[in-house]
Chains A and B, each alone.
Chain A
Amino acid sequence: MLLSHVVHTAATEVCFPSPLSVLQGEGPRASCGAGAGQDVGRSCILVSIGGKNVMLDCGMHMGFSDDRRFPDFSYITRNGRLTDFLDCVIISHFHLDHCGALPYFSEMVGYDGPIYMTQPTQAICPILLEDYRKIAVDKKGEANFFTSQMIKDCMKKVVAVHLHQTVQVDDELEIKAYYAGHVLGAAMFQIKVGSESVVYTGDYNMTPDRHLGAAWIDKCRPNLLITESTYATTIRDSKRCRERDFLKKVHETVERGGKVLIPVFALGRAQELCILLETFWERMDLKAPIYFSTGLTEKANHYYKLFIPWTNQKIRKTFVQRNMFEFKHIKAFDRAFADSPGPMVVFATPGMLHAGQSLQIFRKWAGSERNMVIMPGYCVQGTVGHKILSGQRKLEMEGRQVLEVKMQVEYMSFSAHADAKGIMQLVGQAEPENVLLVHGEAKKMEFLKQKIEQEFRVSCYMPANGETVTLSTSPSIPVGISLGLLKREMAQGLLPDAKKPRLLHGTLIMKDSNFRLVSSEQALKELGLAEHQLRFTCRVHLHDTRKEQETALRVYSHLKSVLKDHCVQHLPDGSVTVESILIQAAAHSEDPSTKVLLVSWTYQDEELGSYLTSLLKKGLPQAS
C-alpha cells in the first residue's frame, strides 16, 4: 500500500473591469464596470475566489457627467442577471468614489444580493448619495439618474457588519472587517473561502489623527492583499508639524483680529479640523467664534457623535465625560455672520472654492490682508482654490469683475491615506503571499511594486483597468486522522515537535469530498481489500569456502556485533533473522567456494533491508 499525496491547486482571480476603454485582460470572465486599477477616482474590483464572485466597492467618477461616470456593469455578465453571478458586494467606506454607483448598480442595473458595509458607512452613505443626487439632478438637471427612492431601496439591501465580526455570506464564503482609519467607518475586508483568502484595504491610514485611529490588521496571511496606493511614492512628514503650523496660523490671525476661512468638504477632514480647533480653543481658552456651514455637516456630525467606538483612543476614553463631537466652541454659521466685525474662523463648503458658501465668504473677505484662507486639501485645476494656491492675486469673477486677493493664502495637507511607509507597514502586518496595488498612478505604483518585491519577497501586481490577474494558490487541505493511528505514531517517536515535519505511515482515503488518514489495516477493512505482501529479495555473493552453516554463523556473529540495537537471531534451520528480515546462506551451484546469501525483506522494512544488503556486500570480516 503506498502513500498517496494530493496537491490541489486553486485559483484566485481578480478582475479590473474597465468602462469603455480597451479590454486588456483575457481573463476567463467577461470584464466590465469601472476600474480601480491604475486610476484614482473610481473603485470597483471583482474578485473570484474559490468559485465565489465578490464585488469590492462600487464607486463613481466625479469628473464625468456622462456614462463614464458609473462603471459599465454589463461587462460582469454578458447575459444573465447580476444577482446570479455575484455572491456579494462589499463597500469599504462612504466616499463617493467607493460607493457612488451603488443605487445605479442595484436599482437600475439590477442586483438583489447582499451588500455589506459597516454601520457608520450604512448611516452616512445615503446622506452623501442624496446630496450628490440633488446636485446632479436638481442643479444640473441631469436625466437618467437614480432617484431618492432608489437610494432608499438600495440601502434596504445593505447588511451591516461589525469590526472583527466574521460574517458568513453563505456556507463557504465569509468576510471580516478590520479598522482602516481614513474616515469614520472605513474598513478593510478579509474575504475567505475555505483556506483561501483575500484582503481588500479600501482606503486606509496608518497614522492616527485627532479623531480616528490607525488602521490595523492581524497576521491573517492572506493569499492576496489588495491595497490602495494613492501615496505610493510619498513619505509624509510628522503630522504634528502640520497640526502645529495650522494651529499657529489660525491663532495668529485670530489674535490680530483677522478672519480665517477654511474651505472643506462636508465629511471626513472637516471633522478632523473641527476637533483640532475645538481642543485648541479649549486648551488655550480662546474666545473667538468658530462657525461651521450648516446642512449636510450637521447631519453628519450627528452620526459622528453616535459612532464613538470607531474613533481614536482619546475620544473613546473621554466621551463619558464629554463627547468630543459635541462642539462647545463651534456653532452653526449664518449668512449674516460673514459681515460681523471681529475675528472668527469659518469652515465652509465646498473645499475647492469653486461654488457655494465658501466662495461667497471668500469674496467678502479677500480684500483685507488681515484675513486668511487655509486650503486643507488638493484643488482641481480651474477652481478658484487652485488659482489662488498657485499665487494668482487678481481673479476674474463672473460679470467681468476683478477680485483682488489681499488675504493670506495658506496650504495645509491633511490627507488620510497611508503613505509609502504605511503601505509597507500594512503589508508587513498582514504577511500576504501576493500583493496587488490599486487606486494609484501607474508610474508611482511601479516604484512601490519594486519595493514590495524587494523587501518582502512576495510577488506584486498592478493591473490596469480591465485587466485580470489570476493567481494560483496552494491551499492546505484538512485531513482527518484516526485517533488510533495518531496515538500509535506518537508512541513511536519522541516529542511531537511543531516546527519539524514528521513522517507518518497511513492510508489516505478520499470519499465523499472528505479526506481521512487511517491505518492501512483499517483502510483494507473499509475498502474490503485483501492485503498484499510485497517482499524484496536479493542475493549477495560471498567468497567463503566454509560450509553453509558456518557461513550463516559468521554472518550471524557479524550482524550481531554491528547491529546492536536490533534483534538478531540465529534460527535452528540455519537461517538468520534481523527483526523480520530473513537471511539464508546457500552454496553456489557452480562455485562451491562462493556462498550465496539470500536476503529477503518486506516493503515496510525497506530501509533496514537495503542497509543490510549493502553491509553484506562489503563482505564479512576475516575470522580471527
Chain B
Amino acid sequence: MAAHLKKRVYEEFTKVVQQQQEEIATKKLRLTKPSKSAALHIDLCKATSPADALQYLLQFARKPVEAESVEGVVRILLEHYYKENDPSVRLKIASLLGLLSKTAGFSPDCIMDDAINILQNEKSHQVLAQLLDTLLAIGTKLPENQAIQMRLVDVACKHLTDTSHGVRNKCLQLLGNLGSLEKSAAKDTEGLAVRDVQKIIGDYFSDQDPRVRTAAIKAMLQLHERGLKLHQTIYNQACKLLSDDYEQVRSAAVQLIWVVSQLYPESIVPIPSSNEEIRLVDDAFGKICHMVSDGSWVVRVQAAKLLGSMEQVSSHFLEQTLDKKLMSDLRRKRTAHERAKELYSSGEFSSGRKWGDDAPKEEIDTGAVNLIESGACGAFVHGLEDEMYEVRIAAVEALCMLAQSSPSFAEKCLDFLVDMFNDEIEEVRLQSIHTMRKISNNITLREDQLDTVLAVLEDSSRDIREALHELLCCTNVSTKEGIHLALVELLKNLTKYPTDRDSIWKCLKFLGSRHPTLVLPLVPELLSTHPFFDTAEPDMDDPAYIAVLVLIFNAAKTCPTMPALFSDHTFRHYAYLRDSLSHLVPALRLPGRKLVSSAVSPNITPQEDPSHQFLQQSLERVYSLQHLDPQGTQELLEFTIRDLQRLGELQCELAGVADFSATYLRCQLLLIKALQEKLWNVAAPLYLKQSDLALAAAKQIMEETYKMEFMYSGVENKQVVIIHHMRLQAKALQLIVTARTTRGVDPLFGMCEKFLQEVDFFQRCFIADLPHLQDSFVDKLLDLMPRLMTAKPAEVVKILQTMLRQSTFLHLPLPEQIHKASATIIEPAGESDNPLRFTSGLVVALDVDATLEHVQDPQNIVKVQVLYPDGQAQMIHPKPADFRNPGPGRHRLITQVYLSHTAWTEPCQVEVRLLLAYNSSSRIPKSLWIEGGEMAPQVETSIEGTIPLSKSVKVYIMPKPARR
C-alpha cells in the first residue's frame, strides 16, 4: 500500500489530470457514509407540508441507522427542528432523536447540548415531554457521566412546574432514573446545586393529577431499584396515598410501602389515636392487608402478592390474617374450622350437622367487636374469597410463601388452603395443591382435612389428580385411619381413572415409606389375612392389589416386624414385584429367606454400582480392541451393543448412558461393515447393488448421529465433537460411494466442494477440541487439507477412502448426566372402533395429551405429526402455552390437532406421533451449509430435520362428503 501511495505522490508531479480523478474518488467514498442523512436532508427540504415531512420521517424511522452515520443524521434532524413550525413534526423529530441516541456504539453526549437547548425554547407540551424522554434515553446511555446526569436532573427540576401532566410525568421519570445516588459524588461536579431528589419527588406525591402522583411514586421506586436508600419519612406520605381516589396511585403506593417496610422493618411507628407504638413492618403489613379489600381488583392483586414477601412480620399479626371473628346476633360463633377441629379432638367424627349445631355461644361485648380494623384481620380470608381469581391466586401464593417461613402459620393456614381445593377455577385449585405440597414439611394433616383433600381425588382433571398424588407423596398423616382413608380413596381413584396407575403407585410408595408404624396395624386388614383360615390368593395383575402391596412393602422396609404378618403368597408376590417394578418395591430383609439383593444398599454411589461398573468395563473393552481383526471387532461390537441395550432396560437410571453408548457403537459397527463391503475391491461401475448397502449405512449413521446429538439431554461439547466427527465420516463414506457409482465428473465437483467446506467448518467450530482427536480421521484429513483443496475429485475420493480405512475408533467420553428424551401419547389412546366423523373440507379437533421426559425446550422443538393414509404428512406446531411443566425434566403437552381431509368412502386410520425437530445450526452459529435442501430454512425456527419421539397412535377418522 505504501509503495502504491509513493507512486501516486510521484505521479502528482507529472500528471494533473490524475489528481483530479483521485479527488473524485475520495469524495465518492465520503459520500457513501452520510448518504442517509443526505437523503433525509433532501427529503425534508422537499417536503412542502408538515404532513409530507412527517411521512418522510416515518419512512426514515423504519430503517436502522449505522452508528457512524448517527451524528450526521442527528445534525440534519436538529437543523430541521429549528425551522419546523408544526408541533407534530417536531414531536416526531424529538422521538427520532431519542431512538437514534439509543443506537449501539454511538455516544450521545454530543447531542445533549442541542437537546437541552431546544427544550428551553419549546412551547408545545407534547414535544416537551418527548424531548424529556429523549434526554432520558441519553442519560441512561451515559450512566457514568456525573456532570451530564446532574445537568439533566437540573433540567428536569426546572420543568417540574409545567402545567401539563405529561411533562411533569417525564420529569419525574427522569429524576427517578438519573437522580444522583451519592451526594458526595454530586458535590464535586461543578458546583451545581445539590438537590435532594427524594424530597423533590416526594413533593409531587400530592400533585393534583393522579398520573403525576403515580409517576412520582414510580420514580421513587425507581430510585430504590437503583440502590438509593429511601428515607423513612416517605412512609407516612405513602400511607396517605393508600386512600387515593385513583387505583393506579393506590397500587403504586402499596408497592412503595412494601419497599419502605423492607428497608426499615424494625423502626417504631406510633399507632394513630392511641399511645401505642409498633414495628414499621407490622404497621405496613396491616396497611397492605387492608388493601386486600380495596375496591379495585388491580390493587387487591398487588397487595395480596406483596403480603407473601413480608417475612419479618410478627407472628401474631400474621395469624390475624386468618382470623375472622364470627358472630351471630351479637354472640360469638365458632367457625366451621373450629367446629371441625373440636369434633375431631373430642373423638367424634362427622356426626352430621343438626340445625343450630353452629348455634352461637357466648355473648359478645359490643364494644370489643371491631368491624373494620386497620390491622391485618382476616386479610387472607377476604383474599381467598375474592371474586377475581387473579386475587385468589395471588393470595394463595402469598399464603404459601409466608407458610414456608413460619411453621406455626403453616399449621393455621391449612384449613383455608384445604378449602381452596374446591375453588371454581381449576388454576386456583391446582395452585393451592402445589402450595400445600410446598409447605407439607411443616404440617400434619388432621383426619377431617385429609378427608377434604382426598375428596378432590375424584376430580376429572388429570392435572389436579396428579398434583394431588404429588402432594400425598410428601404429606404427614397423623393416624392409621388417615392412611386407610387415603388408600381407599386412591384405590377408588384407580378404578375410576385407570390411567393414573403409575402416579398412584408412586404416591403409595412414599406414603408407605413415610408412615411405617401407621401401616403396620393395617397390614392384616389390607392383605385380608386371617389368623386361622387361608384366604384366596389375590390376582397378581390387579393394579389395586399391586397398589396395596407397594404401600406395604415400602412400609416394611423400615419396619422389620411387618414381614411376619405376610402370608406365603405375599412373599412370592414380593419377589415378582421386586423384579418387575424394581423402582417401586425396595429390597427387604425377609426372615428365612436369602436377601434378594443385599448387594444393593441404598447409599452406594453410581460409580460403585456393579451395573455401572459393567457398563464401564464393556465400553473399555471395545475401545481397547480397535486393532483386532475385522471379524472379531464386529462380533465384539455386536455383543456389547446387545449388552448395553439389555442393561438399559434393566436399570432405568443407566438407560440414558447405555443407549447413548450403544448408539455410538452401532454407528461404528455400521461404518466398519460398510468398509468391509466387497465393492471397494472391484471396479466401480459394476457394484451398483452393493453400493446401496453402503449408502444406506452412511444414511443410517447420519440419522443416528442426529439422534445422539439432539435426543439426549446433558450432552456436552466433548461428545458433540465425537458425534460430529462420526457424521463427517459418514459424509465421507457417502461421497466415496457416490463417486464410485456415478459417471461423469461434474456432480462430483460440487460434492467435493461441499465436503471440504464441511471439514473446514468442523475445524472452525471445534478448533479447541482438535488436540483430543489425535490420530483420528479428521486429524489426518486436516493434515492433508492443502493437498485436497487443489486436488481433483477423483484424487480426493481416493485419499478419503484410504484415510477412512486407516482411521481409528474414537473413545466416546461419557457425560455425567444423560437422559434420553422420550414421549408417550396418552390421548388419543388409539384402537377406538368409532371413527371420528366430520364433514370433509371442515376441520375436526383432536385432543392430544402426551407426556415428555427429558426434553429440553419442548416449546420450540416438539411437533405433532399427522400421517394420512394417502401418505400425506402434516406437521403441527403446538402453541408454547400447551406445554406444562409438572416437574423437573418432565413436560406435558395438551393440545388440539386439527384434522381435515377430502371425503373418504370409508373410515380409515391416521397416525399421530410426536417429532423432535432439530437444527444443527442452532447449536453452532452462522452455518449456511446444510446438506439436504429439502427444508427451506425459515427465519427463526428453521427445522433441519426431525426425529420421531414417540410411538405413533392410530386414530380412526371418517371425513364424510358434505351434504348438499
Judge if A137 is at the interface, Cβ distance under 8 Å.
no
Contact of A237 among B330, B335, B423, B425 (CB under 8 A): B335
Judge whether A241 is part of the interface by a CB distance below 8 angstroms: yes
B460:A282 contact, CB within 8 angstroms: yes
B301-341: CB near A (< 8 Å → 1, else 0) gives 00000000000000000000000111111100101110000
Looking at the assembled complex, report how far the CB atom of A441 sits from the nearest CB atom of chain B, in whole angstroms: 9
* A240 in contact with B420 given A285-B458, A314-B425 (CB within 8 Å): yes
**With contact pairs A208-B386, A214-B387, A241-B337 given, residues A314 and B327 touching in the complex (Cβ less than 8 Å):** no
The stretch of B219-227, B349-357, B536-544 in contact with A is B349-357
Quote the shortest CB–CB distance from A567 to chain B (angstroms).
27
Question: Which residues from B are CB-within-8-Å of A238?
Answer: 324, 335-336, 381, 384-385, 416, 419
For A411, the closest partner residue in chain B by CB is B355
Bound Cα distance from A420 to B460, whole angstroms: 38
Among A218, A244, A408, point to the contact of B422 (Cβ < 8 A): A244
Instruction: Decide if B207 touches A498 in the complex (CB within 8 Å).
Output: yes
- Shortest beta-carbon distance from B417 to chain A in Å: 11
Within the complex, what minimum Cβ distance (angstroms) separates A417 from chain B? 13
* Closest B residue, CB atoms, query A441: B329
Q: Would you call A219 an interface residue if the criterion is a C-beta within 8 Å of the partner chain's C-beta atoms?
A: yes
Docked-complex contact A314 and B371, CB < 8 angstroms: no
Within 227-242 of A, Cβ neighbours of B (below 8 Å) are at: 233-242
Instruction: Type the 1/0 row for B253-278, where 1 means its CB is closer than 8 Å to any CB of A.
Output: 00000000000000000000000000
Q: Bound state CA distance, A450 and B328, in angstroms? A: 17
**Of the residues B324, B329, B371, B378, contact of A451 by C-beta under 8 Å:** B371
The listed residue with most A CB atoms (<10 A of its CB), out of B327, B389, B423, B424, is B424
Q: Does B366 contact A (CB under 8 A)?
A: yes
Inter-chain contact B458/A429, CB cutoff 8 Å: no
| B387 and A429 contact, CB distance less than 8 A | no
Contact B366 A450 (CB under 8 A): yes
Residues of A within 8 A of B369 (CB): 451
Of B295, B425, B460, which is within 8 A of A216 by CB?
B295
- A207:B385 contact, CB within 8 angstroms: yes
The A429-453 residues at the B interface (CB cut-off 8 A) are: 429, 444, 447, 450-451
Are B336 and A314 interface neighbours, CB within 8 A?
no
Chain A residues contacting B416 (CB-CB under 8 Å) are: 238
A279 close to chain B: CB less than 8 A: yes
B333 partner residues in chain A, CB cutoff 8 A:
235, 237
Whether B419 pairs with A444 at a CB distance below 8 angstroms is no
The 8 A CB mask of B160-185 against A (1 = contact, 0 = none) is 01000000000000000000000000
Residues of A within 8 A of B370 (CB): 455
Q: Write the nearest CB–CB distance from A351 to chain B, whole angstroms.
A: 15
A81-89, A104-112, A245-253, A571-579 - the one binding chain B: A245-253
Query: Bound complex: CA of A219 vs CA of B208, how far in Å?
Result: 17
B371 touches A424 (CB 8 A): yes
Given A213-B387, A251-B455, also A245-B324 (CB < 8 A): no
Distance between A90 CB and nearest chain B CB, rounded to angstroms: 23
Q: In the assembly, what is the distance between CA of A487 and CA of B384, in Å?
A: 53
Answer yes or no: A141 CB below 8 A from chain B CBs: no
Decide if A233 touches B419 in the complex (CB within 8 Å): no
- Contact between A245 and B371, CB atoms less than 8 A apart: no
Contact of B372 among A313, A421, A450 (CB under 8 A): A421
The answer to whether B458 and A234 touch across the interface, beta carbons within 8 angstroms, is no
Q: Please indicate the chain B residues that have their CB under 8 angstroms from the CB of A244 in the complex.
A: 419, 422, 452
Flag whether B388 is at the interface (Cβ < 8 A): yes
Task: State the interface size on chain A (CB cutoff 8 A).
Answer: 57
Known: A238-B381, A241-B337, A283-B459. A233 touches B330 (CB 8 A): yes
Report which of B356, B378, B389 forms a contact with A314, defined as CB distance below 8 A. B389
Across-interface contacts of B161 in A (CB, < 8 A): 495
Query: In the docked arrangement, what's the CA distance between A283 and B455, Å?
Result: 11
Smallest beta-carbon distance A336→chain B, Å: 30
Indicate whether A245 sits within 8 Å of B385 (C-beta atoms), given known contacts A425-B293, A447-B330.
Answer: no
What's the minimum C-beta distance from B27 to chain A, rounded to whole angstroms?
Answer: 57
The residues of A that contact B330 with a CB separation of less than 8 Å are 233, 444, 447
Alpha-carbon distance A410/B354, docked complex (angstroms): 6
**By the criterion CB–CB under 8 Å, are B324 and A235 in contact?**
yes
Q: Is B645 an interface residue (CB 8 A)?
A: no
Nearest-neighbour CB distance to chain A for B171, whole angstroms, equals 14
Q: Specify the main secondary structure of chain B where it touches its partner.
A: loop
B877 contacts A by Cβ under 8 Å: no
Residues 368-381 of chain B, each 1 if its beta carbon lies under 8 Å from chain A, else 0: 01111000001001
What string of 1s and 0s marks CB contacts (under 8 Å) between B442-462 and chain A? 000000000010010011110
- Give Cα distance in the complex from A251 to B451, angstroms: 13
0 or 1 for each of A193-212: is its CB under 8 Å from B? (1 = yes): 00000000000000110100
Residue A389, interface by CB 8 Å: yes
Which residue of A213, A237, A314, A428 is within 8 Å of B424 (Cβ)? A314
The answer to whether B389 touches A234, judged by C-beta atoms less than 8 angstroms apart, is no
Q: Is the CB of B384 within 8 A of A313?
A: no
Q: Is the CB of A391 within 8 A of B354?
A: yes
Say whether B335 contacts A240, CB under 8 Å: no
Kindly provide the distance from the CB of A505 to the nearest chain B CB, expressed in whole angstroms: 22
Report yes or no: A455 in contact with B460, Cβ–Cβ below 8 A.
Answer: no
A65 vs B423: C-alpha distance in the bound complex, in angstroms? 43
Q: In chain B, what residue has the closest Cβ to A210?
A: B424
Q: Check B496 for interface membership: any CB of A closer than 8 A.
A: yes
B568 within 8 A of A: no
List the A residue with the shortest CB-CB distance to B387. Answer: A208
Residues of B within 8 Å of A247, CB to CB, are: 422
B525 within 8 A of A: no
Contacts of A213 in B (CB 8 A): 387
| B719 in contact (CB, < 8 A) | no
Q: Does B206 contact A (CB under 8 A)?
A: yes
A241: contacting residue among B335, B354, B388, CB under 8 A: B335
- Given A251-B455, A450-B366, are A283 and B353 neighbors across the interface (CB < 8 Å)? no
Q: How far is the CB of B329 from chain A (nearest CB, A)?
A: 5
Most interface-central of A210, A240, A242, A313 (chain B CB within 10 A):
A240
Q: Report B202 CB to chain A, min CB distance, Å.
A: 14
Is the Cβ of A240 less than 8 Å from the Cβ of B455? no
CA distance A214 to B82 in the complex (A): 57
Contact B336 A248 (CB under 8 A): no
Contact B206–A498 (Cβ < 8 Å): yes
Nearest A residue (CB) for B419? A240
Given contacts A240-B419, A447-B366, contact A409 B326 (CB under 8 A): no
B389 touches A242 (CB 8 A): no
A292–B369 alpha-carbon span in the complex (Å): 42
Interface membership of A243, Cβ < 8 A: yes
Let me know if B327 and A235 touch, CB within 8 A.
yes
A623 CB–B CB distance under 8 Å: no
CA of A244 to CA of B329, assembled, Å: 24
A320 at interface, CB cutoff 8 A: no
Closest to A285 in B: B460
A248 near B387 (CB under 8 angstroms)? Answer: no
Could you tell me which residues of chain B, from 19 to 64, have a CB within 8 Å of some CB in chain A?
none
Q: Judge whether B816 is part of the interface by a CB distance below 8 angstroms.
A: no
3 smallest beta-carbon distances between A and B, as pairs: A498-B208, A208-B387, A241-B336
Interchain Cβ contacts under 8 Å between A and B, 27 examples: A208-B385, A208-B386, A234-B328, A235-B326, A235-B371, A237-B335, A237-B336, A238-B324, A238-B419, A239-B385, A240-B384, A240-B385, A240-B419, A241-B335, A241-B419, A247-B422, A251-B455, A283-B458, A283-B459, A313-B389, A411-B354, A411-B355, A420-B327, A451-B369, A451-B371, A496-B208, A497-B206
Interface residues of A (CB under 8 A from B): 207-208, 210, 213-214, 216-219, 233-245, 247-248, 251, 279, 282-285, 312-314, 375, 389-391, 408-411, 420-421, 424-425, 428-429, 444, 447, 450-451, 455, 495-499
- Residues of B at the A interface (CB closer than 8 Å) are 161, 206-208, 245, 293, 295, 324-330, 333, 335-337, 352-356, 358, 366, 369-372, 378, 381, 384-389, 416, 419-420, 422-425, 452, 455, 458-461, 496
Apart from A238-B335, A313-B387, what are 6 other A-B pairs with CB-CB below 8 Å? A213-B387, A239-B385, A285-B496, A409-B354, A410-B352, A498-B206
